[in-house]
Structure 1
Amino acid sequence: MTKTLKGALLLSVLACAAHAEDVTLTIESWRNDDLKIWQDEIIPAFEAEHPGITLKFTPSAPAEYNAILNSKLDAGSAGDIITCRPFDASLALYDGGKLADLSDLPGMANFSDVAKSAWITDDGQHPFCVPMGAVIHGFIYNKEIFAELGLEEPKTVAEFHDVLAKIKEDGSYIPMAMGTNDQWEAATMGYQNIGPTYWKGEEGRTGLIEGKAKLDDPAFTEVLSELATWGDYMGDGFEAQTYPDSQNLFTLGRAAIYPAGSWEVSGFNGLADFEMGAFPPPVKAEGDTCYISDHTDIGIGMNAASAHPEEAKVFLDWVASPEFSKIFANALPGFYPLASEPVEITDPLAAEFASWRDECQSTIRSSYQILSRGTPNLENELWNASANVIRGTESPEDAAKRLQEGLSSWYDKQK
């Protein structure tokens, strides 16, 4: 009887172990250029410590992610783990019952209130995504081209235009690799990159939320006026140029400057065979305060309908750990961990972006908190408006007026 009981217990344990090994957590993400890093570094590190759980990283194209994810969530086919956009898009998912409350996740104690602010309810009581990383905006450039043409990093807008004009005049390279086909990069790497310089970072961003500033005020219109000059330097056919096209033009050495987010660092390191540098958004005049978009960019949460909630929380708690932060910061240089414990950044280009935090005032993208909750959605409207002014199909003044009319049509503080 004893041997029989022991045998039954052993079979039960083995059955449980076999069942545990069958648990696969599927991760939804828009970072499709990070697939190899997840597969080669992040996933193996987690699975080595948690042999009962397998991770499957299944990204979508950035511009299509929101629509694809919403469709999957509505159909009940979304993965267990949901990579979270900051602020309103993810808050809407939580409010709609699509993201789980993570208030009881022990690892949330590793983050400051500021770090959690992009993925928590307005009352500050219910976090729904673990903060993963911030990204910093600026410009990446080809140091070899700059040396060949005798160029230096521009500090002011006037110097920036002088550099672009000299590259165009030489004719050997496209001055700036960016297209308008996908629209989102015109807003993200254009409007939100240089915009804080004009609207003075948090002053302008919070001014919009409080109703003290308008999207057609001179400070905001001036950003669009600056973007309207970019088309002259983006090469022939930029109107049909996609985001991957722009990445390829730069990494193949055919373009001198790339309007960027620091998220490009890890991918560019593996593709470019030349030395790269980076400079922050130029100031309007020498001596002006420098502003950077230092954006709470990416979090990660749990599908409220996951069939494996306990395993999903094990993974999320690991993401909240110092161990993950160290892997994340250096496996994905250009993404800056949001956990309270500092992490040394070894990649020189990623470290260059991070160094601007000591020189410049930090802010986040202007449309992400509260201002994209209504219809028309300000974030999506900025995509279109930014692309239009670069293409020359809409004037900066008309675009700014349209943006303001859209926001004031539903946001009470802007009426």
Structure 2
Amino acid sequence: MQIRRLVRHALLLTMLAATAARAGTLVIESWRVDDKTLWEKVLIPAFEKNHPGIEVKFTPTAPTEYDSSLAARLAGGTAGDLIACRPFDVSLSLYKKGQLEKLDGKPGMQNFTPTSLVAWQTDDGKDTFCMPVASVIHGFLYNKKIFKKLNLQPPQTVDEFFAVLEALKKGGVTPLALGTADQWESSQMVYTNIGPNFWRGEEGRKALIAGKARLTDAPFVEALQFESRMGGYLGKGASAQTYGDSQNLFALGRAGIYPTGSWDISYFGQTPGLELGAFPPPVRKAGDPCFISDHMDIGIGVNRKSKNKDDAYKFLAWVGSQEFADIYTNRVTGFFTLSHHLIAVRDPVAKQMAEWRNSCASTIRFNAQVLNRGQPSMESELWNINAQVLNGRLAPKDAATRLQTGFAKWYKPQQK
């Protein structure tokens, strides 16, 4: 009998230990499959070092499948404890369905400015449902060797920009590594990259939301006119050139300038012999204030049905720390912390782009908030229309009219 009691007691302790282990296991959902090794080898061990007893697992889903599969798991009660959040409407929809916790006042949230929270707040700004993690910055990369050979300097104004493109063309180099086959680059790497210097960043974006500006107004048309001029400096067959093709063209040193976002720095950093430089989108004329698209890319929230909320909030507090901000910024090159911690960015090109924040005002892709909610889809329209403008198939004024007409069909403030 004594032996049986001891065996039962040992089994009970084993079961309790196993239950405790399961209770302390956090699962992170994400679309960032490229970050899996970083999470498993660096970030998670850094957290677990000071949080013994909490096990963390990173379980990413392919980016194209993430939104639908996450929605299904959340609805079915099988989603992880911590949720990587897309910016704006996708995550807002999850919050409205009661699937994400409200995070206002939670430890770590105090390390973010009100501006950095916008992508993960309700429209009235009263509820915050994801902690900001990182943003990406738009601009231009250039080949330093080519610039040196042709005695060129990074342009600062619109006139200087086109003078450089012309010099590259005359020098026998494809000026811009840019294609329009995939369309999204035309919008996200060109129009919403160069546009803020025309519509004055947040001023123009908020005016569209308020119905006080139209996409046919001069600043928005001028951005399309700039883009139309860029179309004359694309390589042969640009309409069939994919994003990957453009990357290869630039990596091989066959193009002088690559319109892009900071996320591409790490890709080109692996190319032997390629000397990278970066410059921000050109201003209209010397002395004008500059604006950059500093777009909120990823946040992290807590699943309302998580059974490990105490541990989830401990992890979230760490995500809001300087240690996390430093590791993420310097290991996921081109993704910049949104916290107000002072971080020394080690990659020279990423550092260069991050420093633009000190001299230029930050804004986001102008259609990201509110303006993607109707039909025709503003995002889809921007992809298609900007590709046509670059290809010379659609005049800037006609493009602006089409954008505005589609916008006004569903957005009441634009119908006044």
Q: What interval of TM-score do these two structures reach, taking the shorter chain for normalisation?
A: 0.7 to 0.9
Q: Give SS of 1:235's match.
A: coil
Counterpart for residue 292 of structure 2: 292
Q: Give SS of 2:401's match.
A: helix
Instruction: Report the more deviating stretch, 374-383 or 396-405.
Output: 374-383
Q: Determine the C-alpha separation between the residues in 1 that align with 2:33 and 2:331.
A: 15
Structure 1: gaps of 5 or more residues: none
Q: What is the letter of the counterpart of residue 29 of structure 2? A: I
- How far residue 384 of structure 1 moved from its aligned partner, in angstroms, is 1.9
Superposition CA RMSD, Å:
2.9
Q: Determine the C-alpha separation between the residues in 2 that align with 1:351 and 1:7.
A: 56
Q: Determine the C-alpha separation between the residues in 2 that align with 1:388 and 1:90.
A: 31
Q: Closer, same or farther in 2 for the Cα pair 1:196/1:104, shift >3 Å? A: closer
Instruction: Report the more deviating stretch, 310-319 or 124-133.
Output: 310-319
CA contact (8 A) 2:137 2:293 kept: yes
Structure 2: gaps of 5 or more residues: none
Q: What is the letter of the counterpart of residue 134 of structure 1? A: S
- How far residue 275 of structure 1 moved from its aligned partner, in angstroms, is 1.9
- How far residue 281 of structure 1 moved from its aligned partner, in angstroms, is 0.7
Does residue 15 (structure 1) correspond to residue 18 (structure 2)? The answer is yes
Counterpart for residue 122 of structure 1: 123
Q: What is the letter of the counterpart of residue 397 of structure 2? A: E
Q: Closer, same or farther in 2 for the Cα pair 1:320/1:60, shift >3 Å? A: same
Counterpart for residue 175 of structure 2: 175
In the TM superposition, 1:179-198 aligns within 5 A as 179-198=179-198
CA contact (8 A) 2:23 2:307 kept: no
- How far residue 193 of structure 1 moved from its aligned partner, in angstroms, is 0.7
Q: What is the letter of the counterpart of residue 316 of structure 1? A: L
Does residue 241 (structure 1) correspond to residue 241 (structure 2)? The answer is yes
Q: Determine the C-alpha separation between the residues in 1 that align with 2:177 and 2:291.
A: 22
Q: What is the letter of the counterpart of residue 207 of structure 1? A: A
Residue-by-residue CA offset, 1:160-199 (whole Å, 9 max, x unaligned): 112112222222x432122222222211110111001111
Larger Rg: 2
Does residue 350 (structure 1) correspond to residue 350 (structure 2)? The answer is yes
Q: What is the letter of the counterpart of residue 14 of structure 1? A: A
Q: Determine the C-alpha separation between the residues in 1 that align with 2:46 and 2:268.
A: 23
- How far residue 19 of structure 1 moved from its aligned partner, in angstroms, is 3.3
TM-score (norm 2): 0.88
Does residue 25 (structure 1) correspond to residue 14 (structure 2)? The answer is no
CA contact (8 A) 1:99 1:128 kept: yes
Q: Give SS of 2:355's match.
A: helix
Counterpart for residue 280 of structure 1: 280
Q: Determine the C-alpha separation between the residues in 1 that align with 2:164 and 2:268.
A: 22
In the TM superposition, 1:51-66 aligns within 5 A as 52-61=54-63
Q: What is the letter of the counterpart of residue 129 of structure 1? A: C
Counterpart for residue 102 of structure 1: 103
Q: Closer, same or farther in 2 for the Cα pair 1:227/1:320, shift >3 Å? A: same
Aligned residues: 411
Q: Give SS of 1:82's match.
A: strand
- How far residue 276 of structure 1 moved from its aligned partner, in angstroms, is 1.0
- How far residue 385 of structure 1 moved from its aligned partner, in angstroms, is 1.6
CA contact (8 A) 1:20 1:53 kept: no
Q: What is the letter of the counterpart of residue 56 of structure 1? A: F
Q: What is the letter of the counterpart of residue 58 of structure 1? A: P
